Amino acid sequence: MREDGSAVGAWGDMRFSKLHGLGNDFLVLLDDGTTGPLTAERAAALCHRRSGVGADGLIRSERIEGGAVSFELLNADGGPAEMSGNGARALGLAAARAGWWEDRSQPLVLHTKVGARLLEWLGGGLEEARLAAAMGVVRPLDDAGPLWEVLDGSVTGGSWYGWAVDVGNPHAVALIDGKLPSPAELDDALAPLDALRPDAFNHEFVVRGPEAQALTLVVRERGAGWTQACGTGSVAAAWAAHEQGWVGSLVTVHNPGGSVQVDLSGPEARLAGPVTHIADVEVAR
């Protein structure tokens, strides 16, 4: 597919793959050394859903000695992000399609801003596959910003428990004993928060179930807004619910776009889920 260069800027020929994990979509640029880092403005223009190609984020990757690859993520607004679970799987499938990950019986090492992360191929083909990513050690954060100051029972419909969680990037997780609010309902409550500290955290609003050892959430991501899914957010929600005593160490997390599985039984969290190739995109002058 060729996009009109006037829509996204005349920056020279660049080839991307567009992929998604549960509807959380990414443009992936496998840089052979001819492109270099992209500016925030270029990333935001390419991710724009009306005047660009459209995506929740843009990932740029280079090959590293020893078969590893780099992982550089810019959100839809052009701002940097430390890590993405769905984005990691998107990069893995793009790398496999390009021949950067030929021996998929061995893990692919991603070098992210928060350290090396191992990616496992669990099955599937080069159009749709199932992958698992090591997500690092999950830790509590001391501060979740002013979220707890603007969230109350009138929004959640009952009691709730707040957790600030570090999954390489910061999350404010609200575990709700009641009905899950819609994004529209939450937008009104979060308006004061945006004025105080916009995009400081990713926000997850979580309820139990519907089945045992499962959670359901909606998520608002830094630099992207409400999304269909969030990998690091699913891990943060599972970890918080585990600490709260809601679930065990193996958790299914239902996002608006589908479900992932989180394994908290080891020293590092592990996230497993699907990833789908959508199209290959060439942006030309």
**For the chain, what is the HEC assignment?**
CEECHHHHCCCCCEEEEEEEECCEEEEEEECCCCCCCCCHHHHHHHHCCCCCCCCCEEEEECEECCCEEECEEEECCCCEECCCHHHHHHHHHHHHHCCCCCCCCCCEEEEECCEEEEEEEEEECCCEEEEEEECCCCEECCCCCCHHHHCCHHHHCCCEEEEEEECCCEEEEEEECCCCCCHHHHHHHHHHHHHHCCCCCEEEEEEECCCCCEEEEEEEECCCEEECCCHHHHHHHHHHHHHHCCCCCEEEEEECCEEEEEECCCCCCEEEEEEEEEEEEEECC
- Residue 86 is assigned to a ligand binding site: yes
Instruction: Assess whether 90 and 150 both reside in one domain.
Output: no
Residue 39: Cβ-neighbour burial (10 angstroms; 0-12, 13-18, 19+): exposed
Instruction: Assess whether 153 and 182 both reside in one domain.
Output: yes
Domains held by the chain: number:
2
Q: Which amino acid belongs to residue 58?
A: L
Instruction: Assess whether 78 and 201 both reside in one domain.
Output: no
Instruction: Assess whether 104 and 76 both reside in one domain.
Output: yes
Mean pLDDT rounded to a whole number for the chain: 90
Instruction: Assess whether 176 and 195 both reside in one domain.
Output: yes
Instruction: Assess whether 22 and 122 both reside in one domain.
Output: yes
Q: Which domain, by its residues, includes 178?
A: 139-267
Instruction: Assess whether 163 and 253 both reside in one domain.
Output: yes
Task: Tally the C-alpha atoms within 13 A of residue 187's C-alpha that lie toward its C-beta.
Answer: 5
Q: What is the mean pLDDT of residues 72-93?
A: 96
Instruction: Assess whether 12 and 43 both reside in one domain.
Output: yes
pLDDT of residue 142: 81
What does the pLDDT look like over 59-72, one tens digit per residue?
A: 999 999 899 999 99
- Residue 75 is assigned to a ligand binding site: yes
pLDDT of residue 151: 67
- Residue 255 is assigned to a ligand binding site: no
Q: Contact, 191 vs 165, CB < 8 A?
A: no
Instruction: Assess whether 70 and 146 both reside in one domain.
Output: no
> What is Dmax (Cα atoms) for the chain?
55
Instruction: Assess whether 279 and 255 both reside in one domain.
Output: no
CA distances from 222 to 51, 91, 149, 202 (A): 21, 20, 19, 5
Q: How confident is the model at residue 73 (pLDDT cuts 50, 70, 90)?
A: very high
* Whether the predicted pLDDT of 246 surpasses 50: yes
pLDDT of residue 187: 86
Instruction: Assess whether 149 and 225 both reside in one domain.
Output: yes
Q: Contact, 136 vs 269, CB < 8 A?
A: yes
Q: Is 230 a catalytic residue?
A: yes
Residue 23, domain CATH = 3.10.310.10
Instruction: Assess whether 183 and 126 both reside in one domain.
Output: no
Task: Choose the catalytic residue: 230, 262, 275, 283.
Answer: 230
Q: How confident is the model at residue 145 (pLDDT cuts 50, 70, 90)?
A: low
